[in-house]
Amino acid sequence: MLKRMLIGLFRSQEHTGDKAKDPKLKSHYYRLSKDRAWEEVGSVLKKMQGYRVLHEVPTIGEIVMEKRSMAGRTMDITVQIVGTGPGSSAVDIYSASRGSLGDLGANYRVIQEIYAVLDRKLSAYRV
């Protein structure tokens, strides 16, 4: 936790992916086709308190949202759903704070919160 805050003094963005060194920032996989994952993930994200869906691009599997931090800063969040094979999909998240200062780990916590909600709601499909 302290390490994330120290990193957050300088960094104002965070993202997930297969090659992430931090296990909590690895892509999450679900046994759902891309179209079904798009519907399920989109439905979950639209119901999340404190987040606002701004834009959806089904053709590339992107959902753009924003969230206001407790400090009043706005975070821009992009959730990407990628089909990884027949009946399976990956979900990656990119979160960045507006402004030039670090985020004190806020983007890291946002990613953890979104993944926790998705994993709980889609637990039957989690790989």
- Domain ranges within the chain, ordered by starting residue: 2-125
Entry pTM: 0.90
Strands 28-30 and 74-85, how do they pair?
A: unpaired
49, 36, 93, 119: CA torsion to nearest 10: 60
- Length of the chain as a residue count: 127
Q: Mind listing the pLDDT tens digit of every residue in the chain (127 residues)?
A: 555 455 555 668 889 999 999 999 999 999 999 999 999 999 999 999 999 999 999 999 999 999 998 778 899 999 999 999 999 999 999 999 988 777 777 899 999 999 999 999 999 999 9
Q: Match domain 2-125 to its CATH number in 3.40.50.10210, 3.30.310.220, 3.40.50.2300, 3.40.50.300.
A: 3.30.310.220
User: How many helices (DSSP H) and strands (DSSP E) are in the chain?
Assistant: 3, 6
Residue 57 CA to residue 12 CA, distance in Å, equals: 25
